[in-house]
């Protein structure tokens, strides 16, 4: 393979990675922000609101030590794709439950736990794949784009979540 083709492939991987990371981070954070405000409005309970935040943080905290091991042991691509499929199924399941029997706090809490875990696994798998996706000269650029995606999602998601909530 000549260097021109390799450069194009690395560029494609760099931008595909960045856009995928941005969409995944953004979607997860918009859901978390908007659903927390929905819970606060629906229940009027700060306890229910806080429990949803715990469902977002606690599974991630408990599973984090094992995530690195799992991602090193198994194919990262498979883990990232499986995480995205699980996220889609979780949101789809919440939609089905809400349409068929109304939105319940239990369903929201379970979905929040699932999305917290899948988001963490996807994020770690994406980040650890950077060195294999881009050429050595652009690793620093890829890492900065990775961090930029996460930062942009953290800043913009409350605004979008607030608009969706409103």
- pLDDT digits 0-9 by tens, 10-62: 778 778 878 887 888 888 888 888 888 889 888 998 899 899 989 999 999 99
Between the alpha carbon of residue 116 and those of residues 27, 86, 87, the distances in Å are 11, 11, 9
Cβ 29 vs Cβ 16: under 8 Å: no
What tokens does 58 get? 């606690």
User: Which CATH fold would you assign to the domain 3-165?
Assistant: Growth Hormone; Chain: A; (1.20.1250)
Which residue would you say has higher pLDDT here, 134 or 166? 134
Long-range contacts of 100-109 (CB under 8 A, 24+ apart): 103/42, 105/39, 105/43, 105/48, 108/35, 108/38, 108/39, 108/52, 109/51, 109/52, 109/55
Cβ 12 vs Cβ 137: under 8 Å: no
Confidence of residue 1 (pLDDT cuts 50, 70, 90): low
Give residue limits of the domains in the chain: 3-165
């Amino acid at each position: 393979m000549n260097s021109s083709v390799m450069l194009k492939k690395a560029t494609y991987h760099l931008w595909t990675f960045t856009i995928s990371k941005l969409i995944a981070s953004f979607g997860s954070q918009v859901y978390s922000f908007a659903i927390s405000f929905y819970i606060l409005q629906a229940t009027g309970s700060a306890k229910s609101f806080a429990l949803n935040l715990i469902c977002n943080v606690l599974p991630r905290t408990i599973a984090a030590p094992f995530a690195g091991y799992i991602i090193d042991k198994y194919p990262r691509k498979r883990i990232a794709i499986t995480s995205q499929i699980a996220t889609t199924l979780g949101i789809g399941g919440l939609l089905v439950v809400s349409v068929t029997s109304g939105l319940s706090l239990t369903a929201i809490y379970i979905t929040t736990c699932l999305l917290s875990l899948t988001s963490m696994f996807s994020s770690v798998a994406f980040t650890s794949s950077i060195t294999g996706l881009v050429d050595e000269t652009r690793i620093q650029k890829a890492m900065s784009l990775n961090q930029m995606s996460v930062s942009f999602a953290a800043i913009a998601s409350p605004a979008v979540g607030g608009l969706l909530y409103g």
